[in-house]
Amino acid sequence: MGIDSLIARYREILDESPLDQVAEWKAKHPGTKVVGCYPVYSPVELIHAAGMLPVGIVGGGNRLEIAHADSRFQSFVCSIVKSTLELAMVDKLAFLDGIVFHSICDPARNLGSVYKRNFPRLMVEYIHFAQNLTSPHTIDYLTAEYRRLMTSYEQLAGKPITDDALRQSIRIYNEQRQLLRELYAIRAEKPQNLSTLESYILTRIGTLMPPDEHIAILKEALAGIRQRDERPKDRIKVVLEGSFCEQPPLELIEGLEAAGCYILDDDFLLGWRWFPADVPAEGDPVRNLAESYLHQSVYSGVKHDTRERKSKHLIDKVKETGAAAVLILAAKFCEPALFDYALYRQALEKAGIPHLYLEFEEKMWIFDKARTEVETFVESMLFD
């Protein structure tokens, strides 16, 4: 299959009903348990090593009508929290045997409890990631937390997680993440050869299937993309930040680039690309995962790392990619993204890097306003 038709096929799945993809998989593998992972990060290796399928539960998209969840959450709660509850309430998550949340913000934290109370058939887990990353006990703490989580997964799977199985899962997800890094490297170097939307589709589809299937797709896609040799267009190069949890609609991602920019890097689906280098498989695999979280995971609005400023990472990213500006694309009512924006704004202004702040909701249909704002921003740089 050609690269264009490959991507078009997966776009159709994401456009129509991505979760049906998992439901179909489950129907074919009735003996295998499926565990949903709510953003941002989840150590999927622990689920996979128990012989279960980890899948991304990343909201309901813009085709899900919110009929029940609005009465459970306040009006100032972001869309992804409501749509994720709605999905379960309208029985769209029947294929799930469990779901795991973590401490990203208050609404997400409470969503875990709401799930626990309302859907007793599901195993609902909650990861307490270390909040203090400078303590000498952080690794011990997180390793213990992962082991606690493993006990829960073992119960659900009905079998123990062996170190060898975990090492094998780490290797598989290392390969998947490496291939995703290659997609991003192409975008940073020759964005004309791979649009942000295309790379997003190729990443997102992997949250809905076993990693080995995704690896095969990525290899095929990368081979096709490497054949491309497009002429670069007169666009400004930007880095996008702020969409690490709730995901913007595909049309919005497409529109941002069509408005006159190349997005060289972004933080979409960040948890699935959490490590910029491989997690070591040898030795104690649980401890390795904990150490990787502490020492080599990406910066994010939901990881409170006082060792280095997040704004420094953002500015470094701009410099390393050679971008000329930053697009902050934050979900409406997303507190972590808004808190970060205050810091980013100051740092970007100080560094003389232009930026544009945009707000989105997963359930949006009209993109004219965002597009006009990006076009104006691009024009302010092009007509200078």
Which residues make up the interface to another protein (CB under 8 A)?
Answer: 366, 368-369, 372-373, 375-377, 379-380, 383-384
Q: Mind giving me the DSSP string for 85-129?
A: HHHHHTTTTTT-SEEEEESS-HHHHHHHHHHHHH-TTSEEEEE--
Q: Helices (H) and strands (E) in the chain — how many of each?
A: 14, 8
Helix, strand or coil for residue 261? strand
Shortest distance, CB of residue 354 to another protein, whole angstroms? Answer: 9
* Alpha carbons 363 and 246: distance in angstroms, whole number: 10
89 vs 338, beta carbon nearer another protein: 338
118 vs 380, beta carbon nearer another protein: 380
One-letter amino acid identity for 124?
V
Query: Which DSSP symbol is given to 326?
Result: E
129 vs 377, beta carbon nearer another protein: 377
One-letter amino acid identity for 318?
V
One-letter amino acid identity for 304?
H
Spatial CA neighbour of 220 closest among 271, 182, 251, 272: 182
Shortest distance, CB of residue 337 to another protein, whole angstroms? Answer: 18
Shortest distance, CB of residue 384 to another protein, whole angstroms? Answer: 6
Shortest distance, CB of residue 224 to another protein, whole angstroms? Answer: 27
Residue 207: exposure state from Cβ atoms within 10 A (0-12, 13-18, ≥19): buried
Shortest distance, CB of residue 110 to another protein, whole angstroms? Answer: 27
Q: Token pair for residue 16?
A: 């129509």
24 vs 379, beta carbon nearer another protein: 379
Shortest distance, CB of residue 147 to another protein, whole angstroms? Answer: 48
234 vs 282, beta carbon nearer another protein: 234
27 vs 366, beta carbon nearer another protein: 366
